[in-house]
Each structure stands twice: as C-alpha cells, then as structure tokens.
Chain A
Amino acid sequence: MNIIKIKFVVPLLVFFLVVGFLWHGLKVNPNHIPSPLINQPAPAFTLPQLFSPNEITSRDDFIGHVTLLNVWATWCNTCLEEHDFLLKLSNIESLRIVGLNYKDDTSLAKQWLQENGDPYHIVAVDSSGNTGIDWGVYGTPETFIIDKKGMIRYKHIGPINATIWKKTLHPIIIQLRNETL
C-alpha cells in the first residue's frame, strides 16, 4: 500500500538540505565569526596603490602604526553606507586607515573615491581578489585592526558605525596604541 513515489519526497529532501545549510549558517554567524587569523601576523601581500600604480604597498607598511584595514568595493552598497563614518574617522590623527579595494574596476574605484571623499591613507588594489582570500575576506565591507607589529588583532564583518566604533573598535585601538613596539 504505502508506496511513496520518489518525486513526492523531493520537496522534503530539498527542504532539509536548505535547513541544513541554514543550520550551519547559524553557527558561523557572520557577525561573530572568529577569524583564524586573529593574533597572527598579517598575511604577506604586495599590491599596487590605487592612485599611484607604480608604487607598491605591502604588510611592512603596517609596522609602527595602529592600522584600520578596510575592505571595500564600488559594487557594494553597504560600503557606501559606512563611508561617511569612515570619513569622520579619517579626521582622527594618529589613526591610519588603509583601504583594500576588493575585486573591483580600478577606474571606477578612483571615481568613487573622488565623488564620495577619500578616507584612506593608502588604497591597495586587489583586482583578482587573491589577497582578499589570504586574508579570509568573507564579503565587503570588512574591517581589520592591525597592531604596531603588523599582527591582526580584530576583524569586523559588515559596515562599521558609531555604535560599533564606540563599543568595540575604539577601546581595542586605544589598548593597541599603548602597546610598545
């Protein structure tokens, strides 16, 4: 009697597949993802700079400063959303903001910064996205805090804003600033 045809079970199977992915997705909640790179030296890279393509930027540039590395792209609407706040941050002296332009068109990126303002000290161009992969970039925008020794100390996924700055990023930066080289 109870012969269930395979095709009638398909919806159930697809559904549980989706639930499985979602279940897994819950565990790696993007807001709280612990990056394996935390407290590790920043992955090596050498990338051209956006506004002067002949010059190269690398992880040695991090030594001696507390740096905020912000991964962004012109195709990312959320990046535009956090942009005003980054501009505000760029007024804080003694904080270096380095941009990593991720999988983007270089000329569009230049235009974007000219139109919306440029909060970055240096912008490194990662057109292929390979450096992003080394850094474990999950999506844009993402922000790393790198200490004076060039170690990654914190990673924030998603846009940053005043609340996140006040609650999380700023205290970390103050602490790192007080560390000696």
Chain B
Amino acid sequence: MLPELGNFAIILALSFAMLQSFSPLFKQNIRFVQIGTTSAVAQLIFLSLAMFILICNFINNDFTVLYVREHSHHLLPFFYKIGAAWGGHEGSLLLWCLILSAWTIAFVFFSRKNLPRNIYSTMIAVLGALSTGFIAFLFLTSNPFKQDFPDSPMVGNDLTPLLQDPGLIFHPPALYMGYIGFVIPFAFAIAALLDGKLDNQWARACKPWVILPWAYLSCGIVLGSWWAYRELGWGGWWFWDPVENASLLPWLSATALLHSLIVSEKRNVFKGWTILLAIITFGLSLMGTFLVRSGILISVHTFANDPARGIFLLSFLAFIIGGAFFLYAVKIKDFYQASQFNLVSRETALLINSVILLTAMASIALGTLYPIILDSLNLEKISVGEPYFNIIITPIILILLLIMGVAPHIHWKQQSILLLWKKLRISLLLSIVLGVTLPWALGFKIHLLTCVGLAFGLWVIISTLQYCFTSKSSNHIPMITAHLGIAVLVLGITINKSYSEERQVKLFLNEKTSLAGYDFTFKKLDETIKSNYQSQIATFLIHKNEKKAGTLKAEQRIYLSHDQLFSKPGIHYNVFRDLYLTLGAQHSDGSWSIRVYYKPFVRWIWFGGFMLLLGGFFTFIPIRKRELL
C-alpha cells in the first residue's frame, strides 16, 4: 500500500512541477504567478511525503520494494536504515528533487518581495522546468518505489559496509544542498538575460543564494574527505577521484562567482562575467550528477548504472545549459557597459582571482575528462592520477594565495602601488621568515616546497589579520573568516603532505612498534558481535618517551550479510597530529599485519573547511550593515 502511495506522491509532484514551469509565464496576470508559487509549495509537500514513505519502507523492512531490498537488511541498525534511504541512486535522486524543491520554497519565502514581478515569475518558471526534468528522470528511469513479488522469501542485500557510518547521514544531504542550491543563481542569470538588465539590486538579491549553497558545498566536501579518511583505511583525505573532482569543480567556479558578484554589487561592472559564471557553476553541478550517475567514469562513488539514465541526463544537460549559453550569446551585448577602474584596483584583483579559479577548475575538469576525450579521439589510453593534479594545482593555488593576501588591502577604482607596498612589506617579510623557521621550530626537517607552502599560508593569515585590525568595520568578518579558513587548510595540507609517516609491520600480541617517536603496543584483542557484524577489536597502547599518550582501537569487521571483511581504522587525535592504525590480515603464525600512520596537522584541513562554512553563515548575521557606496 505505502509504495503505491509513494508513486502517487511523485506523480502529483511532477504535475505540480509542470504547472509551476508554465503558469508564471503569463506574468501580466498576478493570478498565474501565484499559481506558480502555490504549485511550488504543493510540490514540496508531495516530495516530502514521498521521502517520508520511502523511509517508512526502510524502517518496516518492506522488501517487496526493490530499492529497499538492494540497500537494506532486517539487521541493519535503525539510523542507517534512515540513511540508506539516500544510500543508492534512486533514493538519493529523490533527495535531490526534494532539496531542489526546498531551495525553491526558501527563495519564494525570502526573495519574493525584493524582486520585480518580471524577474520573480521567470525564475519560478525556470525552477519549475528544472524540477520537472529531475522528477521526470526520477519517475521514468529511477523509481525508488518499484516493486516486485517473488515467490521465494525475501532478504535484503544490505547497505555496503563502507556506507554504514554516521557520515552517510550528513555528507550526501550537505553536498546536495550545495550542488542544487546553485540552481537559484542560475535562475537569476536566466531571468536577467531575458529581462535584459542587471543592476545592483539584482546582484544584492542574488548574493545570499550563492553564498549559502557555496557554504553547504564546502561543508559537504569536507565531510566527504573526513569520511573517506575514517573509512577507507589508508589515511588519505583526498584522492582526486573523479567524483571528488566533480564536487570540487562547481565549488571553484562558485567561489569565482561569489567574488565577481561582489564587484557587480558594489561597482556595477563585470555583469556578463557574473552571469557566465552563474551558468557555468550550475552547469558543472549538472555535469557532476551526470558523471556520477551515468557510470561513464569508474570511481568508488559510482552508482549502478543503466544507459538510459546517462542519455536522459546528458540530453537534459545539453538542453538546459546549452539553452542558457545560447541565450547568453544572443543577449549579453546588452549588458556591456564601459567601466572605469585602474589596472591596480580591487576590481582587477577580483577579476584575476576569478580567472585563476576558473583556470584551476578547467585544469581539474581536463584531468577528469581526459580519459574520455582521448578515447573519443582514438588516441593513447591513459588514466590521470594524483601526480597530474598535484603538479597542475600547486602553482595555481600559490598565485591565488598571493592575491588573497593583497586584494582586501587594495581600494576600489585605483590604488597606489607604493602605498600598498609600504603597508604590506612588514607582513610579507614576517610571513617569509616564519615560513622558513616554523618547520624548524616544530622540530621538522626543512624542505624548500614546505617552506614555500607555509610562507604563502602564513602570508594570507598575517595580511588578513592586519586587515582585520586596521579596518574598523565588522562588514568583513565573513570574508576574513573564510580567507583564514583557506589559509588554515593550506597550512594543514602543506605540513601533512611533507611530514606524514607510515609503516607496515607484522606484530604478535604484546609486541610493539614505533613511528615518529611514538611506541604502539599491541595490548589485547577482543571479539564482539553486533547486530549485523562480528568484529575483532585490537587495542593498542601509545607511549611517547615512555609516557602513556593514549589508547587506540582498530577494528576488523565481518558483515554477516556480505561475508565481507572491512577494516575500520583506529585513530588517536589531538590538534597537532593524528595517529592512525589499520588492522590487516592475520597470518597463519598468529601475527597480524598492521599499518601505522603518523598524520601531522591533518585536522587543520577539515577545520579550515569548517571555517568556510562558518564564514558563509556569518554573512547572514543581521548586525552586519551594508557598506555604503
């Protein structure tokens, strides 16, 4: 009964999405616009209902529903049953539609009054059209409520052990909030193109709708990295996996958009560029979805695939984004406006910033798509891995950091280089000196590249703090937080990359091994049985200079439904380092293979990412007054 109701809810949501996509086009009559708004509300209600029903199906172990059968098991713990609702392709797509609809309603609620009817109704129609596309995709190719009734008794296949982690509850929703949120700036861009004008009011109304999804996406990426670190068991936090890249691409382009939008808001220039970036950002979100869900690239994230899905998504992408770029090509000349600013000005700095971010985006996109491109051209077959990305991204990031330190100090319109130099030379000197001496002070070996990385990170911190203390207004707290976040992230990455250590050993019970000045003693081995897995837990005592520094438990699980070994690393952490240990196979002589990692400053990476989220949310604190121009 429930699954049929779920199907019905999706059909109703689809009908309302269609209504929403054309009714507001009759914008002369306010009634029709209101119908559009009401349909959006109805759509949210029915999609929420569908999601609720799906979760109920999971909780009730309704294995007649194929999706539930594939991703659940009656022994699966309660919270993972809820998370499993979006642990596979169909359910995560329902979540996607639901979030799209929620963003639409948030937009209606906060921005309806601030926008002219013209712009507002176009946007509602665009959002409706996109929603129609996604719900149709859900219903036609990926229905989560599909049922069958086999004669044999039904058992669930269970959720992949890798997904049985609290990360599942938070990571996909946060990431999707980011991905899909860029639909609002996209709709803003289309409305501006059709309307033929873009002013400060437009930029001001659009800005929160870029910042918010940007903050969510930052958070989603960081959560994903943290999850991979804890679950995958080899101590890495970023793998340049195609799907990770797919989330990084819209992030980079959204960061560029954010900065360009600030210029459009304050100075009324770069309008064409802002619109282009809004289209690109959402286009990259869509392309990411396509890459993940079509199975075109092989990755840990790939969902089970079906060629019809890839064709549907690619056609949808071509129609929506191709249409937007076409509109851009035809209409953008109306936006051209002579702008007056000097070569050395904040406008230039922000323009360079967005160009560099876009370059970074393009390089990563190229690396990710390269295997597909070469194959299409029948050239050599290759796979692109970490070395390419590291080499290409490092210099781009360094230039970006350099500009990040200077840009806030530069005035709008024009700036004397001499004054700038006088203002910043001490900070510059300080960061170079600290960059060179910091590894030494922390007791690390000194490498050139490490010092460079540290100096650039410190440069951003020092010059941003200098800005923070010299400018009296509190307007810039979000920017300062986010910039410091990036710097903290860079420091974390630099130190982590340079000084991580690892070691693989064979240990018997009560034997010990040492790494980076820590001794690890294999103290005991316990066995436990949980609802859906059995596990062996190895306890290690950690000593540093003969003093006890803590204990660490590494686990090896066997999931009953999968008959699959799964190793869960033990982590002992503090602000400055993680000690990370994975339990490998047991040898025939009774000893265990063990891999130990020393990961300095790894938490700084995620903390930096968290500061980006914080910076994004700070913009919504109302005490902040708009800078008067």
Contacts and interface: CB of A to CB of B under 8 A. Distances in A.
Interface in A1-29: 2, 4-5, 8-9, 11-12, 15-16, 18-26, 28-29
A105 to B, nearest CB: 12
Nearest to A117: B585
B307 interface: yes
B294 interface: yes
Interface stretch (B3-11, B30-38, B74-82, B375-383): B375-383
Interface in B259-304: 272, 276, 279-280, 283, 287, 290, 294-298, 300
A24 B376 contact: yes
A11 B294 CA distance: 24
Interface stretch (B15-23, B110-118, B322-330, B621-629): B322-330
A133 interface: yes
Given A15-B321, A16-B322, A139 B381 contact: yes
Interface string A119-151: 000000000000001001111100000000000
A115 interface: yes
Interface stretch (A41-49, A52-60, A72-80, A167-175): A72-80
Given A15-B283, A23-B314, A139-B383, A29 B329 contact: no
Interface stretch (B365-373, B391-399, B481-489): B365-373
B317 interface: yes
B565 A84 contact: yes
Interface in B557-586: 562-565, 585
A4 B336 CA distance: 13
A30 interface: yes
B305 A21 contact: no
B239 A26 contact: no
A107 interface: no
A4 B300 contact: no
B416 to A, nearest CB: 33
Determine the interface band of chain A, counting residues with CB < 8 A from chain B: 35 or more
B514 interface: no
A162 B296 contact: no
Contact of A26 (B294, B326, B382, B565): B294
B333 interface: yes
B317 to A, nearest CB: 7
Contacts of A9: 329
A75 B328 CA distance: 42
Nearest to B563: A162
A81 interface: yes
A11 B323 CA distance: 11
Contacts of A2: 330
Contacts, number: 107
A84 B584 CA distance: 10
A88 B359 CA distance: 45
Contacts of A158: 298
Contacts of B283: 15
A140 B383 contact: yes
Nearest to A17: B373
B318 A139 contact: no
Contact of A4 (B241, B318, B329, B565): B329
A80 B234 contact: yes
A81 B381 contact: no
B222 interface: no
A28 B280 CA distance: 26
Contacts of A29: 295-296, 305, 307, 310
Interface in B353-373: 369, 371-373
B550 interface: no
Contacts of A77: 236, 239, 241
Contacts of A115: 504
B311 interface: yes
A2 B298 CA distance: 44
B325 A21 contact: no
B613 interface: no
Contacts of B596: none
B332 interface: yes
A180 to B, nearest CB: 34
Contacts of A38: none
Nearest to A12: B325
Contacts of B241: 77
B329 A31 contact: no
A4 B314 contact: no
B233 to A, nearest CB: 10
Contacts of B372: 21-22, 24-25
A95 to B, nearest CB: 19
B298 A8 contact: no
A18 B365 CA distance: 10
A134 B296 CA distance: 23
A162 B333 CA distance: 58
Contacts of B239: 77
12 contacts: A4-B329, A8-B272, A21-B369, A21-B373, A26-B294, A29-B305, A75-B386, A75-B387, A76-B383, A77-B241, A133-B381, A162-B563
**Interchain residue pairs A-B with the least CB separation, the first 8:** A25-B372, A139-B383, A12-B325, A24-B376, A158-B298, A115-B504, A8-B329, A9-B329
Given A30-B296, A138-B375, A162-B563, 19 more contacts: A8-B272, A12-B329, A15-B321, A15-B322, A16-B318, A21-B369, A22-B290, A22-B369, A25-B376, A28-B375, A30-B297, A31-B295, A75-B387, A76-B385, A78-B298, A80-B234, A133-B380, A137-B381, A162-B564
